[in-house]
Chain A
C-alpha cells in the first residue's frame, strides 16, 4: 500500500525583525515632538504632560525635559493609569492597577497633552479620555505619540506624531525605552519575509 510522501518539513521561518528607529533616531524624534509642542502651544504655558503607562510615562518626562532645555519653561508631568477604564477588561485575566499621579497644580483649565508610545486602534486613548474626565476638567486635550501605526478603530488622531509606520495587521510594532527596557528602539516584527 502506497502512502503519500510525508510532507517535507519546511525550514523554520525566522520571524522578520526590522529596526525602524535606532537609539539616536528616537532621541531626534523626541526632540522634534518637543519643538512641535512648543510651536503649536506657543511656548507651552498652562500645559501638562500626562504619560500613559507603561512607556508613555518616560516619554512624557523626556518631552518635559527637552522642552525645558529648549525654552526654559517647566511643564508639569503626570501619569494617567487607564487600566480601570479599558473596554477589554473582561477579555483578559484581571490586570494590575497602576498609580495615577497628577501634578500638584492639577489639570483643571490646563492644556493636557496625553503621551503614549504607539497609536494603534485608538482604544487606549479613548480609555485615557474617560479617565481624564473623572480626574478633572482640562481646557483642551491633545495627543502625542512616538509611533502611529494606523488601523484606527475609533475616530481618534494624534496632534504630534514621531513617526508614521504603515503596517499590516499581521505585523507588530515594539517600542523599547531606556528607562523601562534598557535601550531606545522601535522595531517592526512579522509580516512578509521576502
Chain B
C-alpha cells in the first residue's frame, strides 16, 4: 500500500480497486446500530483545512471517528496562520504532536506534496488549489460502480469549469486507470489546452454538450468556481447555463440508465437545474454518503497496518 494519497494518479488499478472493495465493507458499518470499528484506536488524524469546506471536512472527520481514531480539526481561521505562521511550521507543530495522518486542504496547488516531505505520517490530499482531489474521485468511482455495476468501459462526461476543477483532474486520472473513458466538456475558455494529453491520453475534449449526452453512461457536472475566476470566462451566467447547464430536456437526451453526478456544492440554476439535481438519476446525496465509506477505506489502508 502507498504511504500518501496525493493524486488520483498515485493509484494503480489494483490499489484503487482494493480501496473501492474495502469501502464497500465499510459501508455496511453505516447500517449498524453501532457505527464504530476499532481499527485505528490510538491513532491521531489531523484535519488541516486552509480553505472552507463542509462536506469534505465533515466526511473525513466522520470516517476517522468511525474507525476510532482521535481527530484534531485545524482550520486556518482562528489559528496562528492568521499571525503569519507558514505551512512548514504548522506541519512541524503537528509532527511534534504525533499526528499519524494529516488530511490537508489548501488553496495552493501542490501544498500536500510539500507537506509530505515535512511530516513522518501519511498525508491525504483533500483538495489543493486547482490541482487534485483524489478522495472525491474515489467516491465518484465508487458511486458509479455501485449504480452501474462496473467501471471498465464506462463513458463519462465531465462537464463545466474544468480549468479550475481539481475534481476533474483527479477523476480523469483515476477513471482512466480503472478503464473508463472520459470526455471533458465545457466552453473553450474553461478547458486548458492539451489537458487531455497532459493528464491521460485517450481522454476526449468536446465543446458541444448536446452532441455528447446521448452516448454517455455518466454525466458529471462541475461547479462553476466563481471564487477562483479573476476574469470573465463566459459572457454571462445565463449564456453559460443555456449552453452547458444540465436541465430537464437535456437530461432526457441521456440513455435510460445514465446517472447524473455533482461533487457539490451546487449552483442550482447555473450548471444544474433543481429538476435534474432532485431527479431519480441524480446521485448527489449518495455521493456524500459514499464519501464517508471511501474515506474510511483510505484511512484504514494508509494507517491500519505497519506499512513502513
Interface residues of A (CB under 8 A from B): 81, 84-85, 89-100, 130, 134-135
Question: Are A97 and B300 in contact, with the CB atoms below 8 A?
Answer: yes
- Known contacts A134-B32, A134-B34, A135-B32; A93/B39 CB under 8 A: no
Which A residues are CB-close (under 8 A) to B302? Answer: 94
> Which label, helix, strand, loop or mixed, suits the secondary structure of the B interface?
loop
Question: Are B22 and A89 in contact, with the CB atoms below 8 A?
Answer: no
Most buried by B among A89, A95, A130: A89
Count residues on chain B whose CB falls below 8 Å from chain A CBs: 21
Minimum C-beta distance from A106 to chain B (A): 11
Question: Are A84 and B18 in contact, with the CB atoms below 8 A?
Answer: no
- Known contacts A93-B1, A94-B300; A99/B34 CB under 8 A: no
Complex formed: what's the CA distance from A92 to B39 in Å? 13
A-B pair number, CB within 8 angstroms? 52
Is B28 positioned at the interface, with any CB of A under 8 Å from its CB?
yes
Which B residues are CB-close (under 8 A) to A89? Answer: 39, 304-305
> Which label, helix, strand, loop or mixed, suits the secondary structure of the A interface?
loop
- Known contacts A89-B305, A93-B305; A100/B28 CB under 8 A: yes
Q: Mark B58-80, 1 if CB is under 8 A from A, else 0.
A: 00000000010000000000000
Complex formed: what's the CA distance from A100 to B32 in Å? 12
Per the 8 Å Cβ criterion, residues 1-51 of B in contact with A are: 1, 18, 21-22, 25-26, 28, 32, 34, 36-39
Question: Are A84 and B34 in contact, with the CB atoms below 8 A?
Answer: no
Which B residues are CB-close (under 8 A) to A99? Answer: 25, 28
- Known contacts A84-B39, A134-B34, A134-B37; A100/B305 CB under 8 A: no
Complex formed: what's the CA distance from A91 to B308 in Å? 10
Minimum C-beta distance from A94 to chain B (A): 3
Question: Are B305 and A95 in contact, with the CB atoms below 8 A?
Answer: yes
Is B87 positioned at the interface, with any CB of A under 8 Å from its CB?
no
Cross-interface CB contact of A84 among B21, B37, B306, B307, cutoff 8 Å: B37
Question: Are B305 and A81 in contact, with the CB atoms below 8 A?
Answer: no
Which B residues are CB-close (under 8 A) to A95? Answer: 304-305
Q: Closest 4 interchain pairs by CB?
A: A94-B305, A84-B39, A97-B25, A84-B37
Complex formed: what's the CA distance from A94 to B296 in Å? 13
Complex formed: what's the CA distance from A95 to B25 in Å? 13
Is B216 positioned at the interface, with any CB of A under 8 Å from its CB?
no
Question: Are B25 and A81 in contact, with the CB atoms below 8 A?
Answer: yes
Cross-interface CB contact of B306 among A90, A97, A100, cutoff 8 Å: A90
Q: Mark B216-257, 1 if CB is under 8 A from A, else 0.
A: 000000000000000000000000000000000000000000
Cross-interface CB contact of A100 among B22, B25, B36, B38, cutoff 8 Å: B25
Question: Are B22 and A97 in contact, with the CB atoms below 8 A?
Answer: yes
Which B residues are CB-close (under 8 A) to A84? Answer: 37-39, 67, 300, 304
Question: Are B305 and A96 in contact, with the CB atoms below 8 A?
Answer: no
Minimum C-beta distance from A135 to chain B (A): 6
Minimum C-beta distance from B228 to chain A (A): 36
Among residues of A, the one whose C-beta sits closest to the C-beta of B37 is: A84
A-B contact pairs, 6 of them (CB 8 A): A94-B301, A97-B21, A97-B25, A97-B26, A97-B300, A99-B25
Complex formed: what's the CA distance from A96 to B25 in Å? 10
Minimum C-beta distance from A160 to chain B (A): 28
Complex formed: what's the CA distance from A92 to B67 in Å? 18
Complex formed: what's the CA distance from A71 to B18 in Å? 42
Which A residues are CB-close (under 8 A) to B300? Answer: 84, 94, 97
Complex formed: what's the CA distance from A95 to B22 in Å? 10
Which A residues are CB-close (under 8 A) to B18? Answer: 96
Which A residues are CB-close (under 8 A) to B26? Answer: 97
Most buried by A among B1, B22, B304: B304
User: Knowing that A90-B304, A93-B305, A100-B25 are A-B contacts, what are 5 other residue pairs whose CB atoms are under 8 Å apart, sorted by A's residue number?
Assistant: A84-B38, A89-B305, A94-B302, A97-B300, A98-B25
Which A residues are CB-close (under 8 A) to B34? Answer: 134-135
Complex formed: what's the CA distance from A90 to B307 in Å? 8
